[in-house]
Amino acid sequence: DIQMTQSPSSLSASVGDRVTITCRASQSIDNYLNWYQQKPGKAPKLLIYAASSLQSGVPSRFSGSGSGTDFTLTISSLQPGDFATYYCQQSYITLLSFGGGTKVEIK
């Protein structure tokens, strides 16, 4: 199995801040890495696939980078609707796995 570790587990930020979330895989997964956003009581929403490809309809302030074992999700200018929990997910092997999540809260 591939373990996914996110950091930090939570962060406080203000509207307009640049936010970076990190995800590390327990082995190399090339660029088989996806990012999701989840708001309370709602289903997850796909933001980024294949490490850096923006899902259709997702604002361009979201970006992803990385390859191998280390990946980042960046929000260039945090907006009020971006306060949520973010998850990474590896798609390198069929037994999928998610990171533990990063909760982005209002400072």
Partner 1 sequence: EVQLEESGGGLVRPGGSLTLSCAASGFTFSGYNMNWVRQAPGKGLEWVSSINSRSNYIFYADSVKGRFTISRDNAKKSLYLQMNSLRVEDTAVYYCARDADRGYGPDLDSWGQGTRVTVSS
Q: Which stretch binds partner 1 (CB under 8 A): 17-25, 63-71, 73-81, 85-93?
A: 85-93
Residue 22 exposure: Cα atoms within 13 Å on the Cβ side: 5
Site for partner 1 in 57-76 (CB under 8 A): none
Distance of CA 46 to the CA centre of its chain: 9
Candidates 71, 78, 82, 87: give the one binding partner 1 (CB under 8 A).
Answer: 87
Binding mask 24-53 for partner 1 (x = CB under 8 A): -------xx-x-x-x---xxxxx--xx--x
First to last CA, the chain: 36
Contacts of 4 (CB under 8 A, 6+ apart): 23, 24, 25, 26, 88, 89, 90, 97, 98, 99, 100
**Interface with partner 1 includes 14 (CB under 8 A)?**
no
Query: By the criterion CB under 8 A, which residues form the site for partner 1?
Result: 1, 31-32, 34, 36, 38, 42-46, 49-50, 53, 55, 87, 89-101
